[in-house]
């Protein structure tokens, strides 16, 4: 029955080489899964070996940038697409000439830059925004950078704190517009980064299946080669074997990551509310002599009053934010809490 109404869901001829919206979103989701998974693994090993891996955690973004650039460059050269795209049997073709089977060197470098540099820059901008927001709080006005008692650095930080949310929202709106246009078959790109790279995605065909490369050595003439030639051939063999092993390991590792993501997201693994530990009763006598305008943590007059919704107590913004991020609970009642339970209070002096 469904085949008789299939024509109602399309507004034109269907291109068999054009990936569906589910395929492009799946490979895009894979990219966002690998980075935090590797970061978490590095942190776990760094906690056990802090002296050896301490610098790795400190410069993780830069090291991952180099690693990601090498991986993406290799897959773009050998497979015609990024690692995630090749995982879902997709490849890239030039936007100017989609019928051209391969990417030029300049297009590969351009695609690598879009795949690696743009996520790195966005990660750094998000981290900078969170650090500035933690320093100045969330109640900074849009024109607070115009205050006269600020130096140049403070003005720039406050300006960034005011403008970046709009820049971030604009990028998300543009990405959504690209996705909707691709889903409705009105555009050739599902995101602006692919458009900027000068390429577009298509499915792998029977002729595009990557064959396993040989060792690249003719053993019948091995004895006739010089020592230098033999060393170069041996290095070539080692490089190809290493690349093949890494490719297989990455594919297996990504499949395992997706399995873990599905496992922890399933309802069967969700903890029951009744299984949560019961917090101890609050000790009211500890706050009996504390003034209502004093922060229970620092015992000083509150600055940027912030209430914790799970218990109702009011603290300084910096005090309760740092405590909740570290302890994950209310300092008075012991109730479980996160940063989402913080509520800013705007008090008016009477």
Return the SS3 of 97. coil
pLDDT above 90 for 117: yes
CA 51 to chain centre: 27
Is the distance from CB of 315 to CB of 296 less than 8 angstroms? yes
- If asked whether residues 195 and 60 sit together in one domain, one would say yes
Is the distance from CB of 76 to CB of 111 less than 8 angstroms? yes
- If asked whether residues 82 and 195 sit together in one domain, one would say yes
Strand partners, 201: 92
| pLDDT, average across residues 3-21 | 61
Is the distance from CB of 348 to CB of 306 less than 8 angstroms? no
Q: Is the dihedral of CA 133, 139, 145, 147 positive or negative?
A: negative
Q: What local confidence, expressed as pLDDT, does residue 211 receive?
A: 46
Under the banding of pLDDT at 50, 70 and 90, the label for residue 10 is very low
Range of 313's domain? 287-344
* 125 or 41, which is more confident: 125
pLDDT above 50 for 212: no
5 domain residue, yes or no: no
Return the SS3 of 198. coil
- If asked whether residues 172 and 318 sit together in one domain, one would say no
3-state DSSP helix/strand/coil % of the chain, to nearest 5? 60, 5, 30
Q: What is the pLDDT of residues 62-86, one digit of tens each?
A: 888 998 898 888 888 888 888 888 8
Query: Which of 23-32, 74-83, 217-226, 335-344 has the lowest average pLDDT?
Result: 217-226
Under the banding of pLDDT at 50, 70 and 90, the label for residue 168 is very high
Rounded-to-integer distance, Cα 238 and Cα 217, Å: 11
Is the distance from CB of 25 to CB of 88 less than 8 angstroms? no
Q: Is the dihedral of CA 225, 227, 229, 235 positive or negative?
A: positive
- If asked whether residues 194 and 64 sit together in one domain, one would say yes
Q: Which backbone phi and psi does 27 adopt, to 5 degrees?
A: -70, -30
236 domain residue, yes or no: no
| pLDDT, average across residues 250-269 | 58
| Number of domains making up the chain | 2
Angle at 334 between CA 48 and CA 280, to 5 degrees: 110
Q: What is the pLDDT of residues 295-346, one digit of tens each?
A: 888 888 888 888 998 888 889 988 898 889 888 888 888 888 888 888 888 7
Q: What is the number of residues in the chain?
A: 350
pLDDT above 60 for 189: yes
Is the distance from CB of 158 to CB of 146 less than 8 angstroms? no
- If asked whether residues 37 and 183 sit together in one domain, one would say yes
- What does pLDDT average to over the chain? 76
CATH number at residue 318: 3.30.40.10
- If asked whether residues 152 and 30 sit together in one domain, one would say yes
Closest CA to 143 of 127, 132, 159, 157: 159
279 domain residue, yes or no: no
177 domain residue, yes or no: yes
Of 174, 207, 240, which residue constitutes the final position of a domain?
Answer: 207
pLDDT above 90 for 177: yes
Is the distance from CB of 56 to CB of 44 less than 8 angstroms? no
Of 176, 207, 238, which residue constitutes the final position of a domain?
Answer: 207
Query: Which of 22-31, 142-151, 254-263 has the lowest average pLDDT?
Result: 254-263
Block residue for tokens 């900074």? 140
Q: Which of 135-139, 170-174, 202-206, 343-347 has the highest mean pLDDT?
A: 170-174
102 domain residue, yes or no: yes
- If asked whether residues 313 and 182 sit together in one domain, one would say no
- If asked whether residues 89 and 192 sit together in one domain, one would say yes
Under the banding of pLDDT at 50, 70 and 90, the label for residue 180 is very high
Query: Which of 120-129, 171-180, 242-251, 292-301 has the lowest average pLDDT?
Result: 242-251
| pLDDT, average across residues 50-56 | 79
314 domain residue, yes or no: yes
pLDDT more than 90, % of the chain: 11
Q: What local confidence, expressed as pLDDT, does residue 111 receive?
A: 92
Is the distance from CB of 119 to CB of 32 less than 8 angstroms? no
Query: Which of 109-113, 277-281, 306-310 has the lowest average pLDDT?
Result: 277-281
277 domain residue, yes or no: no
- If asked whether residues 24 and 147 sit together in one domain, one would say yes
- If asked whether residues 173 and 55 sit together in one domain, one would say yes
Under the banding of pLDDT at 50, 70 and 90, the label for residue 196 is very high
- If asked whether residues 88 and 194 sit together in one domain, one would say yes
258 domain residue, yes or no: no
Of 175, 207, 239, which residue constitutes the final position of a domain?
Answer: 207
pLDDT above 60 for 254: no
| pLDDT, average across residues 44-52 | 79
- If asked whether residues 326 and 188 sit together in one domain, one would say no
């Amino acid at each position: 029955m469904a085949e008789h109404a299939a024509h109602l869901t399309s507004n034109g001829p269907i291109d068999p080489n054009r990936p569906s919206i589910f395929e492009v979103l799946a490979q895009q989701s894979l990219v966002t899964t690998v980075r935090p998974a590797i970061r978490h693994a590095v942190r776990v090993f760094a906690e056990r070996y802090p002296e050896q891996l301490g610098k790795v955690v400190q410069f993780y973004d830069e090291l991952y940038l180099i690693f990601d650039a090498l991986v993406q460059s290799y897959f773009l050269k050998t497979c015609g697409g990024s690692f995630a795209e090749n995982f879902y049997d997709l490849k890239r073709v030039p936007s100017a000439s989609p019928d051209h089977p391969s990417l030029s060197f300049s297009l590969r470098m351009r695609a690598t830059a879009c795949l690696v540099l743009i996520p790195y820059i966005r990660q750094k901008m998000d981290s900078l925004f969170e650090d500035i927001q933690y320093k100045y709080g969330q109640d900074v006005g849009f024109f607070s950078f115009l205050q006269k008692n600020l130096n140049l650095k403070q003005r720039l930080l406050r300006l960034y704190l005011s403008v970046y949310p709009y820049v971030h929202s604009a990028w998300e709106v543009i990405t959504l517009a690209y996705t909707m246009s691709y889903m409705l078959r009105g555009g050739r790109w599902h995101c602006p980064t692919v458009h900027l790279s000068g390429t577009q995605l298509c499915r792998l065909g029977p002729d595009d299946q990557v064959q396993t490369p040989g060792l690249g050595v003719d053993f019948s003439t091995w004895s006739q080669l010089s020592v230098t030639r033999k060393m170069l051939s041996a290095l070539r063999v080692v490089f190809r074997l290493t690349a093949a092993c890494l490719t297989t390991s990455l594919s297996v590792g990504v499949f395992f990551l997706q399995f873990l993501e599905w496992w922890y997201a399933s309802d069967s693994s969700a903890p029951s509310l009744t299984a949560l530990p019961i917090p101890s009763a609050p000790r009211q006598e500890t706050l009996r002599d504390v003034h209502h305008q004093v922060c229970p943590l620092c015992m000083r007059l509150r600055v940027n009053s912030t209430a914790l919704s799970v218990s109702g107590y009011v603290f300084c913004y910096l005090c309760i934010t740092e405590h909740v991020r570290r302890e994950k609970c209310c300092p008075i009642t012991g109730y479980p809490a996160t940063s989402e339970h913080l509520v800013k209070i705007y008090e008016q002096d009477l």
